[in-house]
Structure 1
């Protein structure tokens, strides 16, 4: 599958002050959803113009309409209940961090179902109506319906066995993808940071302590993703993004891809991998050799967690290193993750963000010449 663009991005962008204020007012009951969306409309228009100016090849809405990376999709699925958790996987790497992000938990209350029209449809159409560049929609992976709450995510009175649960989860995705395709969307990115937890021995030990078999659970998640995208049109590109957590410039887990490469890379039915590689927590490039030759790879070499700009020469050397395991013709470059996977965003400025995207574009132009 040919890359949509050599210079890509993961999806989320720092929310401008107008959007931050609108979400605060919305949460406090001082602003309705229609008024909030109007403010987001203006911010997205401006953001698209700025994205285009950086030279980046794929445009998104910056996820401005979400307060967290998965909230634009999962809460709109029928049969879902969200509730607060008390522990943060992000707290372990930042000593006494009072603002550590705590992901909400998801559980089923009845049979899961798709509402009918594409959940992300209006958001896609708004962006596609503004830009002539490639536009992608980002959605959370099926694993997000299960992992954070584990066995408690599934009401056994609704789903006596997990196969029935996954059948309904994946049918939701089939309906969503078909709906997006009907609107003209041909680039869908599935965000699955949960796969990175299987790279971290501490995280897999916690899975075992919770009564899960990590190898079996990873297979469940791979099978669910494959089923979810199995009916996509031949003209639709499906990407899969893996990172190790991204909230207020913190991370959740560590570990190279070698731990999951044999089980995941040859078997995930996707057209392009978006893989985090901005520091040593991601390991080396050797696991790339297990990705099928027909699959493209966008390397997340530029960090979205810190403001310092990477050296273009260093990035090109890293592309050379990666090309020892996957031909350079299959590669692209991007930031390692979004700039604001949660509403508050990472600890850098909008100017830093645009500089990072310009860097991605310039390195891609220098390295591939297109």
Structure 2
């Protein structure tokens, strides 16, 4: 086996990192009107420079901005598309005392369109810092999956005046908007983009499947429809750009929203989608076994999310190697990579994990990848 010189890399990661306290304080000051947007951005710039250096120091080749300019992994992006309205999700106290994030309201209120460059300025700053502090590494951008505009609300969440019928006009419009954003990023020098998708993973959970039925969707048909939807975006991807998808079952403050084996979506995900790579959660029993990997097409990459970001306990290196060997029974080892199962801070609140644990886990991913695949 050999190291990979193009993304995803043998040791990779999903994207978000714990926000430093001084950045959280600055965000609170901005919310109270005590500092300007420009002053907040200067603080974000400082924090991003530091997280770029952190990723370089721990041995990562893919470098993100930690999603430090975002509050939520999806809303901050989606609400900047024309024709999309969002509402801030609420924290809900559960009967057992735990706190979960109520699903955000995402509505399509008009024709979806790309009205401005969303990530370009943020990427340009990231790229400048990678060039200065992590030369030779690859800056990576994370954006929410386009399926977010359909799954949460279904037909009822999409304006009927703008879209009397969804297929094909709605899916074409969303794909066009995403294609224009990808082209904007490409023109700025971006070659690595990851789309974060909770919806396909949610369709592995019977509770979520029943909720889809209640909205009028067939959970057996949806994965195949989403494969066609994603392929519309892929068709507009600039040549030379790696486009990956991360599947997530929820990651708010170390909690989760769904569970279940990938089998209900595996064929649509790994055989029908034309993506370059898939980041798949496999950090505990909620994810099921590796048999769904048998659908992986030649030339595609699965990044095994074997290291949890939810808790600080460090995984055993030999256990990780055994799990990689197990996955390799269903997909060629050369088509596999390693990462944490999700980001460390999918929302500004962060997971219940220490900064030092964040470092130790990434260092473990790098060490195991080096020993399994070489460098």
Please report the TM-score for the alignment, with normalisation by the length of structure 1: 0.94
1:184 paired with 2:189, answer: yes
Instruction: State the shift of 1:79 in Å.
Output: 1.6
Instruction: State the shift of 1:85 in Å.
Output: 5.7
Per-residue CA shift, 1:227-286, capped at 9, x if unaligned?
012122331111111121111000000001112112221001101111100001001111
Tell me which residue corresponds to 1:32.
36
Aligned equivalents of 1:287 and 1:153: distance in 2? 31
- Residues 179 and 48 (structure 1), Cα distance of their counterparts in 2 relative to 1, 3 Å cut: same
1:95-134 alignment, distance < 5 Å: 95-97=96-98, 99-116=99-116, 118-131=117-130, 132=135, 133-134=137-138
For residue 11 of structure 2, the aligned residue among 1, 7, 28 is 7
Instruction: State the shift of 1:86 in Å.
Output: 6.4
Q: Give the 4+ runs in structure 1 shifted more than 4 A.
A: 84-88
For residue 344 of structure 2, the aligned residue among 336, 339, 342 is 339
Aligned equivalents of 2:343 and 2:314: distance in 1? 16
1:141-152 alignment, distance < 5 Å: 141-152=145-156
For residue 245 of structure 2, the aligned residue among 240, 243, 256 is 240
- Residues 84 and 348 (structure 1), Cα distance of their counterparts in 2 relative to 1, 3 Å cut: closer
Aligned equivalents of 2:41 and 2:312: distance in 1? 29
Q: CA RMSD in A?
A: 1.7
- SS in structure 2 opposite 1:215? coil
Does the 8 A contact of 2:283 with 2:308 survive in 1?
yes
Does the 8 A contact of 1:241 with 1:275 survive in 2?
yes
Instruction: State the shift of 1:70 in Å.
Output: 1.0
Aligned equivalents of 2:61 and 2:362: distance in 1? 10
Tell me which residue corresponds to 1:19.
23
- SS in structure 2 opposite 1:63? coil
For residue 176 of structure 2, the aligned residue among 167, 171, 178 is 171
Instruction: State the shift of 1:294 in Å.
Output: 1.1
Unmatched tracts of structure 2, length 5 or more = none
- SS in structure 1 opposite 2:368? helix
Per-residue CA shift, 1:15-38, capped at 9, x if unaligned?
000111122222233332211111
Does the 8 A contact of 1:56 with 1:360 survive in 2?
no
Tell me which residue corresponds to 1:293.
298
Per-residue CA shift, 1:211-235, capped at 9, x if unaligned?
2211233233222111012122331
Instruction: State the shift of 1:3 in Å.
Output: 4.3
1:251 paired with 2:256, answer: yes
Aligned equivalents of 2:108 and 2:7: distance in 1? 37
Tell me which residue corresponds to 1:276.
281
1:137 paired with 2:141, answer: yes
Aligned equivalents of 1:222 and 1:298: distance in 2? 19
Does the 8 A contact of 1:316 with 1:367 survive in 2?
yes
Number of residue pairs aligned between Structure 1 and Structure 2: 365
Tell me which residue corresponds to 1:200.
205
Does the 8 A contact of 2:48 with 2:65 survive in 1?
yes
